[in-house]
Chains A and B, each alone.
Chain A
């Protein structure tokens, strides 16, 4: 168990946290990459998925694209992006320049690769969430004379929101754990400490970094849980007192088509809990 004591002493050494390229700096980088990737995935995927869910069309496409997306290794995507050098043909629009910039070359590639990795669960969850709004509610909304946009904005979206947000939570934790993979292409983040420790056979160091990643993942999950409660509850308080359960009820309880199976894991209701998908 020398490895464990090595890990603890690595964590106990202050300079390992504060020095250049230390834990804190890499932690910051990884958070930045994770959040940027999540933002990118949300901007790209969420409006489309919500609108398709509203229309009730393209579900087959949304879900199958997601399933194929799972088969693409994030490592492969990352490798392709780093090698492809998109800084040339996007005229510098790609995040960061080749050598410097906010995240650097590998950082930009990681952000885009991770965003693509996060798209499938976000799209599937948002689509399923919109489809799970009960048909009677939809019809009632038509009955009181709401337009398509009003139904979307004032009926379906509030009801779907808890499940959508839980999908984002799932994506956040997955993204965080997966973003360590940037180290395989010399990118930013705590993965650097892990691979570095591995290459120099300082396994304690690798374990220490893995511990930090795991702890931050749990912290992110807790923060996201609070955030999602803050988002979801007011909608439920406002005049919809009839719903007995918590916000997650929408997802795990009343799924008519076994639709929650579609999400990330067939055996795991999309409504609850921590990310259950392999972090490639």
Chain B
């Protein structure tokens, strides 16, 4: 018995006898495992967001042209939110299998609904005088979109992207259901194995990742809209 206690009192804060929440030893011992999970989390999140961005932009443009399509798009996206993420991933498995693609598509669908709304809202917020004067100085519809409307819509779109990004980081954890949940996998294993250090480390990393992503988005928005700073100064 004394022998066991002596072992437990060693440097390690996780063992058969000790199950601490905060344990730096764990982070050092399992560094590669944590890094892998973190990288998977980041890759899945970023790919899903990029996919959602790429799809939502043309969708928003189409919806803007055709009012009937707009109500359809908004209706479908509202309905999508009643499907729990826990159900969405298994729903996709028959089509995409147990692959990261399943998680990416599911996450992209959720992000899509936020982003389509953001694009529509942002483009609608462009004052019509601005649009008219741009047409007046001879901009073609394409150039009007790229050089006038998009930059002006950017703040609203970026606000939507921030919400989508933070939610996606959190949602990726549910992907552990199909074995591709990034840090969610560590959380799941932490629950089943009653491993507190792993559980808390993964949870904290999730929040840190969300905050870092948010900061990156804010900074890139500032970089992309230099005129807003000029106006304020």
Residues of A within 8 A of B (CB): 3, 67-68, 70-77, 79-80, 82-84, 173-174, 177-178, 180-181, 183-185, 191, 194-195, 197-198, 203, 206-207, 209-210, 213-214, 217-218, 261, 264-268, 273-280
Query: Is B174 within 8 A of A274, CB to CB?
Result: no
Given A72-B203, A194-B90, A266-B159, 8 further pairs, Cβ under 8 A: A75-B184, A77-B203, A191-B87, A210-B91, A267-B117, A267-B120, A267-B160, A276-B113
B116 to chain A, nearest CB (A): 9
Query: Is A83 within 8 A of B199, CB to CB?
Result: yes
Indicate whether B130 reaches chain A with its CB closer than 8 angstroms: no
Chain B residues with CB under 8 Å of A265's CB are 114, 117, 160, 163
**How far, in whole Å, are A196 and B188 apart by their CA atoms in the complex?**
16
Query: Is B207 within 8 A of A71, CB to CB?
Result: yes
B174 to chain A, nearest CB (A): 6
Query: Is B86 within 8 A of A217, CB to CB?
Result: no
Query: Is B191 within 8 A of A79, CB to CB?
Result: yes
**How far, in whole Å, are A67 and B167 apart by their CA atoms in the complex?**
10
A-B contact pairs, 21 of them (CB 8 A): A71-B170, A71-B207, A71-B211, A72-B207, A73-B171, A73-B184, A83-B190, A194-B86, A195-B86, A203-B93, A206-B91, A207-B87, A210-B91, A265-B117, A266-B121, A266-B160, A267-B160, A278-B81, A278-B110, A278-B171, A280-B174
Partner of B83, one of A83, A197, A214, A264: A214
Chain A residues with CB under 8 Å of B167's CB are 70, 277-278, 280
Chain A residues with CB under 8 Å of B12's CB are none
Chain B residues with CB under 8 Å of A184's CB are 86, 174, 176-177, 188, 191
Query: Is A173 within 8 A of B82, CB to CB?
Result: yes
Query: Is A76 within 8 A of B203, CB to CB?
Result: yes
Indicate whether B142 reaches chain A with its CB closer than 8 angstroms: no
Query: Is A80 within 8 A of B199, CB to CB?
Result: yes
Q: Which are the 9 A-B pairs with shortest beta-carbon distances?
A: A210-B87, A71-B210, A278-B167, A266-B159, A76-B203, A267-B121, A217-B82, A267-B117, A73-B170
**B interface majority secondary structure:** helix
**How far, in whole Å, are A275 and B81 apart by their CA atoms in the complex?**
7
Residue in B closest to A207 when the chains form the complex, CB atoms: B91
Indicate whether B156 reaches chain A with its CB closer than 8 angstroms: yes
Residue in A closest to B120 when the chains form the complex, CB atoms: A267
Query: Is B84 within 8 A of A181, CB to CB?
Result: yes
Indicate whether B206 reaches chain A with its CB closer than 8 angstroms: yes
Partner of B170, one of A70, A79, A275: A70
Chain B residues with CB under 8 Å of A191's CB are 84, 86-87
Q: Are A177 and B82 also in contact (CB < 8 A) when A75-B173, A265-B117, A276-B114 are?
A: yes
Indicate whether B53 reaches chain A with its CB closer than 8 angstroms: no
Q: Are A79 and B203 also in contact (CB < 8 A) when A180-B86, A267-B160, A280-B167 are?
A: yes
Give a binary string over B169-209; 1 marks a CB under 8 Å from any A CB, 0 the rest: 11101101100000010011011001010011011001100
B161 to chain A, nearest CB (A): 9
Partner of A206, one of B90, B162, B166, B211: B90
Indicate whether B221 reaches chain A with its CB closer than 8 angstroms: no
Partner of B84, one of A198, A213, A273: A213
Query: Is B90 within 8 A of A79, CB to CB?
Result: no
Query: Is B78 within 8 A of A274, CB to CB?
Result: yes
Q: Are A82 and B191 also in contact (CB < 8 A) when A203-B90, A213-B83, A280-B85 are?
A: yes
Partner of B90, one of A70, A77, A198: A198
Residue in A closest to B119 when the chains form the complex, CB atoms: A267
Query: Is A197 within 8 A of B79, CB to CB?
Result: no
**How far, in whole Å, are A214 and B85 apart by their CA atoms in the complex?**
12
Q: Are A278 and B94 also in contact (CB < 8 A) when A83-B191, A198-B177, A214-B79 are?
A: no
Partner of B87, one of A174, A194, A268: A194
**How far, in whole Å, are A183 and B87 apart by their CA atoms in the complex?**
11
**How far, in whole Å, are A209 and B86 apart by their CA atoms in the complex?**
11
